[in-house]
Amino acid sequence: MSETATAASFEATLHVRADRAGAVIDRNIYGSFAEHLGRGVYEGIWVGPESPIPNTRGLRNDVIAALRKLELSVLRWPGGCFADEYHWRDGIGVRSSRPRRANSSWGGVETNEFGTHEFMDFAEQIGAEPYVNVNVGSGTPREMMEWLEYMTSDTDSALAQLRRQNGRPQPWKVKFIGIGNEAWGCGGNMRPEQYADEYRRYAAFVKKYGDDNFVKIAVGPSDEDYAWTEVVMKQAAKHIDGLSLHYYTLPTGDWKAKGSATDFGEAEWRSTLSRTLRMDTFISKHSAIMDKYDAERRVSLVVDEWGTWYDASPGTARGALYQQNTLRDALVAAINLNLFNQHAARVRMAASAQAINVLQALILTEHAEMVLTPTYHVFEMYKVHHGATLLELDMNAPAYGSGAEALPSMHASASRDARGVVHVSLVNLDPRRRADVTLTLRGHGARGASGRVLTGPSINALNDFGSSSVQPSSLNVTATGDRATASLPPRSVSVLSIE
């Protein structure tokens, strides 16, 4: 499906209520996730100080620069399923003396070259808040306590002294602590009642070692497991600061045959977008349950695993989870980020899965080469929403498709930043028709406008090593008084900025 085959268009109208301010969009919504599997950490982040690939203390310079530009807010580590088999003492001290352990979750051997010091160094270099997932499944409260003390204590305790001996004189700032991961599955096959008790026990031993309190994040549900949310919130809400939610978009909905990352047609395009739109229902229903036990919305809903999951790319190991990233993934990312913006009153942190070389990656590497994926560019374009104030938006647009397969042709969110500029992010889901958009603003007079757009020559367009066909470009926006107009290409993500 090429651009030359898309002459048709449709009209869409949007009304942005700049006079109705909503919640602040927490910049921590724009986070990601790095787990020890495939080439996500080793090669993707860590190459070692002796590598010919340019690095700073073993960490890839090109990846650091790219993530700094992205202003990635949060990075979650070490898992994922790997977190509940990870013992932090394996990853400190002289690297050549660290034990090699079988990676029972994803296969192969974990060298432990990349541990606490390396992760914290990486988080500091890219400017992201570290989000540390502690081991509940095979660990103990004492192990967790000692890790938190090691990282954050500025006393003369044995653990703080050990950190200093290992090369870090001052404590790290660690704000976010995940207490377990997917306890209903790979993190222990627990019942919600069992996990609620375990969470309360672990939370009691999250002690304060520095000036800042930890934000404690409990294991929440997978997609539509509303019973899990009900039980955990009922039994432990007052001890919880954040409740996680995991949902992966599969084109088929079948974990045994998820579909190809690159070889697909319009039917798979439509089914993927349809399934990712379910995120809105999941957030709404889990939030309603949370409201029963937390009417003040003190507890954040933390969507710390989200993204597309396809069959492994040919020639890669099952546990590597390497997949290419097309324009379809860019639209999935934009829709989800719009949804997180829309639910900013409850959703205050999220982490895409994953940052590098795994699942819906922001960055792909191959030895010394690096490529920025279409998903990366969406995150970069959406930086304008970081810390901005959500604005109410009403939209009228025809459906894409018909009958039971009909989808909205447009998806959007809007915000106003600290300078007073209104930003509207728009997704044209229709792969064939241009969207002629008329936008009116109530309570905001337009002095000028600009835009950026991300699209490609086909629904399968991707960025590969040596060639990139999905790149942001400028978009013409006309603004007069309280009105702005723009023509959005088919299969595109756009951001309009109205001063």
Euclidean distance between CA atoms 291 and 491, whole angstroms: 36
How far, in Å, CA of 91 to CA of 114, rounded? Answer: 7
Weakest-pLDDT range from 4-13, 237-246, 359-368, 438-447: 4-13
pLDDT in tens, 369-400: 999 999 999 999 999 999 999 999 999 999 99
- Of 207 and 405, the one with more pLDDT: 207
Quote the DSSP letter at residue 41. T
Mean pLDDT of 418-424: 96
User: Residue ranges of the domains in the chain?
Assistant: 3-21+390-498, 26-385
CA 66/CA 81 separation, integer angstroms: 27
Helix or strand or coil: residue 441?
strand
Nearest to 359 by CA among 413, 314, 311: 311
DSSP 150-217: HHH--SS-HHHHHHHHTT--SPP---EEEE-S-TTTTTT---HHHHHHHHHHHHHT----SSS--EEE
How far is residue 7's CA from residue 12's CA, in Å, rounded to a whole number?
16
Which structure tokens are listed for 90? Answer: 């394996």
β-pairing verdict for 477-480 and 483-488: antiparallel
- Predicted pLDDT at 211: 80
Band the pLDDT of 443: cuts 50, 70, 90: confident
The b-or-e profile of 154-192 (16+ CB within 10 A means b, else e) is eeeeebbebbeeeebeebbebebbbbbbbbbebbbebeb
CATH number of 26-385: 3.20.20.80
Helix (H, G, I), strand (E, B) or coil at 224: coil
Tell me if domain 3-21+390-498 and domain 26-385 are identical in fold.
no
Q: How large is the angle between the packed helices 327-342 and 278-293, nearest 10 degrees?
A: 30
Cβ atoms of residues 325 and 361 within 8 Å? yes
Those residues with Cβ within 8 angstroms of residue 33's Cβ, 6 or more apart along the chain or in another chain:
75, 76, 77, 80, 304, 305, 351, 352, 353, 354, 355
Domain 3-21+390-498 architecture:
Sandwich (2.60)
Cα separation of 250 and 311, whole Å?
A: 9
Q: What is the mean pLDDT of the chain?
A: 96
pLDDT tens per residue across span 297-311: 999 999 999 999 999
**Is pLDDT at 6 greater than 70 in this prediction?**
no
Band the pLDDT of 446: cuts 50, 70, 90.
confident
Residue 425 has pLDDT above 80, yes or no: yes
Contact 419, 469 (CB under 8 A): no
Confidence check: pLDDT of 5 > 80 = no
Q: What confidence tier does 7 reach under pLDDT thresholds 50, 70, 90?
A: low
Say how far apart CA 35 and CA 173 lie, in whole Å: 21
User: Which positions are annotated as active-site residues?
Assistant: 182, 305
Nearest partner of 269 among 259, 281, 282, 255, judged by Cα: 259
Quick: pLDDT tens for 398-413.
999 878 789 999 999 9
DSSP 29: G
- How far, in whole angstroms, is CA 10 from its chain's centroid? 31
Q: What's at 162, amino acid-wise?
A: L
| 20-42 pLDDT tens trace | 889 999 999 999 999 999 999 99
pLDDT at 3: 42
What does pTM read for this prediction?
0.97
Q: Is the pLDDT of residue 459 over 50?
A: yes
For 46-54, which contacts have Cβ atoms below 8 Å and span 24 or more sequence positions? 46/113, 46/114, 46/118, 48/113, 52/368, 53/367, 53/368
Asked whether the predicted pLDDT for residue 1 surpasses 80, the reply is no
List, in order, residues 6 or more apart from 174 with CB less than 8 Å away.
130, 132, 148, 151, 152, 214
CA–CA separation, 244 vs 436, rounded Å?
38
Measured N-to-C along each axis, helices 61-70 and 116-126 cross at an angle, to the nearest 10 degrees, of 50
Alpha helices (runs of H) in 257-383, residue ranges in sequence order:
266-276, 278-293, 327-342, 374-381
- d(Cα 75, Cα 34) in Å, to the nearest integer? 7
Residue 210 pLDDT class (50, 70, 90 cuts): confident
Residue carrying structure tokens 């930043």 = 417
- Cβ neighbours of residue 388 under 8 Å, at least 6 residues apart? 24, 25, 415, 416, 417, 418, 423
Q: Are 304 and 76 in contact (CB under 8 A)?
A: yes
Half-sphere exposure of 61 (CA within 13 A, CB side): 9
Per-residue pLDDT at 428 exceeds 90: yes
Nearest CA-CA partner of 411 in 469, 333, 486: 333
Q: Specify the pLDDT at position 133.
A: 98
Structure confidence at residue 445 as a pLDDT band (50, 70, 90)? confident
Parallel, antiparallel, or unpaired: how do β-strands 176-179 and 215-218 relate?
parallel
Name the β-bridge partners of 74: 129
The residue-averaged pLDDT of 202-230 equals: 95
